Structure 1
Amino acid sequence: MKQFGNIYLIAGISIIGGGLFGFDISSLSAIIVTDAYRCYFNQGPPGACLGPRSDVQGGITASMAGGSWLAALCSGFLSDRFGRKSAIMTGAVIWVIGSIIVAASQNIAMLIVGRVINGACVGICSAQVPVYITELAPPSKRGRLVGAQQWAITWGIMIMFYISYGCSFIDGPAAFRTPWALQMIPAIILFFGMMFLPESPRWLASKDRWEECEEVLILTHGHGDPDSPWVAREFQAIKEWLEIERQSKAVSYLTLFKPKYINRTHIGLFTQVWSQLTGMNVMMYYITYVFAMAGLTGNTLLVSSSIQYVINVVMTIPALIWVDRVGRRPTLLFGSTMMAIWLWCNAAILGGAGEYVPGGVDDIREAKVRVTGSASKAVIACSYLFVASYAPTWGPVSWIYPPELYPNELRGKAVAFATSGNWLMNFALGYFVPPAFANITWRTYIIFAVFCTAMTVHVYFMFPETAGKPLEEVNEMFDNPNGIKYIGTPAWRTKNYYSTSARMEHGEGLGKEMSGDESPERHESTEPEKKV
């Protein structure tokens, strides 16, 4: 079967796996406030149409993340044994099965089972799509290509929200069954699209399939030219690092906790954990609750909620264009600082100007504080600004950064472990937020504001810069230049070497690099005027 080597096409098809996560998010956020959903899954008095209890709704939402957590952990074994491509295709099949069950749900238990199965797909794809793209992409394009997964998530969220909104005008259970069934379409496209894409060259090398590895490098990096110097350099670098890695014992999840790797394990895990503790789940899953507290109702509530999804799509674009030039550290630091500001503002507004409504605003039991007038507009504005701060920063970089930290032999398992942290927090927050709004109301925002403030400090002192560095050379950054074992260069002293990588990919300076005289980092340090 013919395979295509255009790296943008490869990324464009594989990131549909991220789009599935987005579909799942908004298929709930647009539906949980509709009468069709609340009447069908009602746990209040007969005929009241109050929907599930707060804790049960949290369980329904969190069930997807629960399935994702377990599947993300298992995806490392699946990916290492059968390949990155096969793992992603397996996830697509699982999604179709889960969507059938969700769309046919007769009760809450069946809905939860279907969402757990859907979560298994999201766990596999969210962990292995970044690994797949990272191992295929050239260094200067790696950030934007892996970050495109987040863009796919935002598109999935927006498209599914409007599909769900349109279907909300249908009478009866078809109002939610129809959008849940339509979720199968992107998974089918993903499965058949992956057939035309190559396998990861680094995974092929790990299985001693060297001819296929070189063919993929020629196809993707050499544009069909077997004499490309960039292909020769990549092929040699993969060989050298694989030989070094094979001198150590067989890798497992326990390897991640050995002194040599524990620092990067903690960085990768917290990148994903912090991305959830920003509070973005509040905005994605439960934005309709927030805007109900701001006094919006009916169609106005849903349409105003959808604006944040448009903002999410549009504001992710700057990251795709500039994240490799700007680097990972500045992007993360800016994002967490701005998000903290908007969260503190929302807490202050809801706490200072909010009116407590014991029964919930418009019978939405989770919305127990109401603001009006200018305070209402301020809450909506801060919510939009929060999304605009997350979209170009923690959203894409949380997927870009972890795969760059690890050596080839560990990457599949390490990224799977880091991503499992994402889903563990996703599960906890999905379950926690409805009862939190119902019980501690506006103070929920304080919790997330504190998290955003803490992550700013953590990133500054512990997260090194990886932008522009070939994967085989990121390892050098974690070795102390003075020879102290397992203690790398201080994070705040690491630099972005995008310029050097871009020149090398176009054939500039390859002679010295391939001769082993200098690495991009050393080369860059002699030309300070070219640093980014």
Structure 2
Amino acid sequence: MAFARQTDVDAVASQSEVKRLLDLDTTPWYKRPNLRTLYFTLIPAVLGCEMTSGYDGSILNGLQAVGPWLTCTYTTRGYHDRVRRSLTMIADFNTPTGAILGAMNAAFEPYFGLLTTPYTHPTHRPWLATLVLTQDIMQSIGAVLALPIVPYVNDRVGRKHSITIGSAIIVVGVILQTASMNLAMFIVARIVLGLGIPFCIGGASQLIAELTFPRHSAIINGLFNESWYAGAIIAAGVTLGTFSRPDNWSWRIPSLLQMLPSLLQLTFIWFVPESPRWLVSRDRSDEAFDILVKHHAEGDRNSPLVHAEFAEIQHTVRAELEFSKRRWVELLQTPGNRKRTFIAACVGLFSQWSGNGLVSYYLAKVLSTVGITNKRTQQQINLSLSCWNLITGVSGAFLTKVFRRRTQYLMAFIGMTIVFACWTGASADYANTKNKNAAGAVVGMIFVYYWAYTLMHPLTTSVRLQSEDMSYWDDC
């Protein structure tokens, strides 16, 4: 216990020294050749993780305005025959019973009602929302399955290999999704995609936090989160360009292009150094020190800042390796960790329950409720919203230097509450009066809402527990 207290004191002293030396260092990043090269390499190697997630989140929005995807054209026969073809997948599971049958019923039970549902225009089909929700749930199931594995892989094989594993899984999922010949194959592909994304995000978030220059860490982590919208822009643009095709390639092309960020990661990750903290934890301190010297001191092995950083890493890792035997239990062992875990759970849950799901997955349906039913208009609004979100998200990332992190959270949640209340009121007004001004207000409120939503992603955990909490947060 005395060793733990002394190590904590040493770590705090090292952190204070790092902060003091950072205040004395005024050289901008773009005047540091090695650091500049590192950052330009990180963009394709790491930011693609959230881009893949954003592409995946946006593609379902776009596909809801794609005719062949809506009508499930896996056969040229009539509507009811197409539904029956989708349901015949059940016979391929050798007459499932018990828990397996129950799980399949939970996923596919809504589709049995299609057999007695009269054919209507695709936008009026009552099962469309359930179809999208089921496919979104399947992706989430994959993410939940990865939750207990990601931290161990991340800390066992390193941040870079975690990104590589996740990217490879995503490529497999994209191939399955693009080649889907029936609903079952598409849903399995969604599960595989959900399995790969947490490996990428878990490894990338820690690699950024542990490899970047200390002064830039918060900003780059914010940019990492907001790169989600860069992927969403690409997905929205691609679906806008292909949705008018009359064949299945109107949705297969957007699906196929989803693998591009992962292919970039698999190519460029080998040019990025490993996390110094992970190297120290694996008794590879010399390599860690060399990386810090090269990228944080431009080759100056006598740099006081690098020595202070290295000492802080050693003190922290030594204490954590000494006392961290049961990793997940650590999340609840101390009052501080319990508080951080509670915050991570709340932020993860609240960020998904704050109303963003309405637009993230059901934008076409939301727009239809206020009279905007033209498919091209819906695609254009989807693309415009993704561009707007990227602009506001990047701006929010730089606000970490202006506002405290808790202040940003409060600004975000208070803003979302106010805007969502106005949004709900305008929607109710349109439903009662068909007032076009109310419909315009709904569209405007969607954009303002996301301006508030993009403010709220700073880290709250200790370095050692980031792997667990980032996985936990992502899967909430």
- Give the TM-score category using the shorter length: 0.7 to 0.9
**Partner residue in 2 for 1:499:** none
Q: Is the 8 A contact 2:129 2:362 kept in 1?
A: no
User: Structure 1, residues 490-527: CA drift from partner, whole Å, max 9, x if none?
Assistant: xxxxxxxxxxxxxxxxxxxxxxxxxxxxxxxxxxxxxx
Give distance in 2, aligned partners of 1:318 and 1:256: 32
**Number of the residue aligned with 1:411:** 466
Q: Is it true that 1:334 corresponds to 2:411 in the alignment?
A: yes
Unaligned stretches of 5+ in structure 2? 1-32, 74-81, 84-113
CA distance in 2: counterparts of 1:4 and 1:112, whole angstroms: 44
Q: What is the alpha-carbon distance in structure 2 between the residues aligned to residue 103 and residue 149 of structure 1?
A: 27
Judged with a 3 Å threshold, the aligned counterparts in structure 2 of structure 1 residues 192 and 67 are, in CA distance, closer, same or farther, namely same
User: Which residue does 1:384 correspond to in 2?
Assistant: 447
- Name the structure 2 match of 1:32: 64
Report the CA distance between 1:86 and its aligned residue: 0.5
The residue that corresponds to 2:331 in the other structure is: 256
1: CA distance, partners of 2:401 / 2:138: 35
| TM-score (ref. length: structure 2) | 0.79
Cα deviation per residue 1:42-91 (whole Å; 9 max; x = unaligned)?
A: 65458646365533331112211221222243110110100011000111
4+ long deviations beyond 4 Å: 41-49
Q: Which residue of 2 aligns with 1:373?
A: 436
CA contact (8 A) 2:66 2:244 kept: no
Q: Distance in 1 between matches of 2:329 and 2:359?
A: 35
Work out the CA distance in 2 between the residues paired with 1:304 and 1:418: 29
Q: What SS does the aligned partner of 1:318 have?
A: helix
Q: Distance in 1 between matches of 2:270 and 2:438?
A: 52
1:225 positional shift: 1.9
Percent sequence identity over aligned pairs:
23
1:287 shift after superposition: 1.1
Partner of 1:54: 129
Whole-angstrom distance in 2 between the partners of 1:302 and 1:179? 13
Paired residue secondary structure (2:272) = coil
For residue 185 of structure 2, give the secondary structure of its aligned residue in structure 1. helix
Taking the aligned partners of 1:46 and 1:160, their CA distance within structure 2 comes to 32
Cα RMSD between the aligned structures? 2.1
Of the candidates 150, 154, 160, which is equivalent to residue 85 of structure 1?
160
Aligned equivalent of 1:303:
380
Q: Give the structure with the higher percent helix.
A: 2
Once the two structures are TM-superposed, the CA of residue 351 in structure 1 deviates from its matched residue by: 2.5
Cα contact 1:102–1:110 (8 A) shared by 2:
yes
Structure 2: how far apart are the matches of 1:315 and 1:289?
A: 24
Answer yes or no: is the 8 Å Cα contact 1:63–1:115 preserved in 2: yes
Partner deviation per Cα, 1:371-405 (whole Å, 9 max, x = no partner): 431111111111111112212x02xx1xx314xx2
Work out the CA distance in 2 between the residues paired with 1:193 and 1:238. Answer: 26
Aligned equivalents of 1:34, 1:49: Cα separation in 2: 13
Aligned counterparts, 1:340-489, within 5 A: 340-355=417-432, 371-391=434-454, 393-394=455-456, 397=457, 400-402=458-460, 405-408=461-464, 410-421=465-476
Structure with the bigger RCO (C-alpha within 8 Å, sep 6+) is: 2
Contact 1:98–1:115 (Cα < 8 Å) also in 2: yes
CA contact (8 A) 1:157 1:309 kept: yes
CA 1:33–1:414: 2 relative to 1, 3 Å:
same
- SS of the residue corresponding to residue 198 of structure 1 reads coil
Deviations 1:330-387 (A, max 9, x none): 11111111111111112222234414xxxxxxxxxxxxxx943111111111111111
Change (3 A) 1:195 1:4: farther
Alignment of 1:165-204 (within 5 A): 165-204=240-279
Does structure 1 retain, via aligned residues, the 8 Å contact 2:233–2:387? Answer: yes
Rounded to whole Å, the distance in 2 between the matches of 1:373 and 1:243 is 64
Instruction: Give the equivalent residue in structure 2 for 1:219.
Output: 294
Counterpart residue number, 1:208: 283
Deviation at 1:10, TM superposition (A): 4.7
- Matched residue, 2:91: none
In structure 2, distance between residues paired with 1:33 and 1:90: 33
SS in 2 for 1:73: coil
- Alignment match of 1:127 (pick from 162, 177, 202): 202
Residue in structure 1 matched with residue 23 of structure 2 by the alignment: none
| Alignment-mate amino acid for residue 92 of structure 1 | S
Compared with structure 1, are the counterparts of its residues 155 and 378 closer, same or farther at alpha carbon in structure 2 (3 Å cutoff)?
A: same
Give the structure 1 partner of residue 90 of structure 2.
none
CA change 1:418–1:383 in 2 (3 A) is: closer
Q: Which amino acid in structure 2 is aligned with residue 61 of structure 1?
A: D
Q: Where does residue 102 of structure 2 map in the other structure?
A: none
Contact 1:135-1:200 within 8 A present in 2 as well: yes
Q: Deviations over 1:74-132 (max 9, x none)?
A: 11011010001100011111111000000011111111110111111212122221111
1:154 to 225, 229, 232: 229
Aligned with residue 212 of structure 2, among 118, 133, 137: 137
| Alignment correspondent of 1:518 | none
The answer to whether 1:267 aligns with 2:343 is yes
* One-letter amino acid of the structure 2 residue matched with residue 390 of structure 1: Y
TM-score by length of 1: 0.71
After superposition, give the CA deviation of every residue in 1:460-491 in whole Å (9 maximum; x if it has no partner). Answer: xxxxxxxxxxxxxxxxxxxxxxxxxxxxxxxx
Q: Is the 8 A contact 1:218 1:231 kept in 2?
A: yes
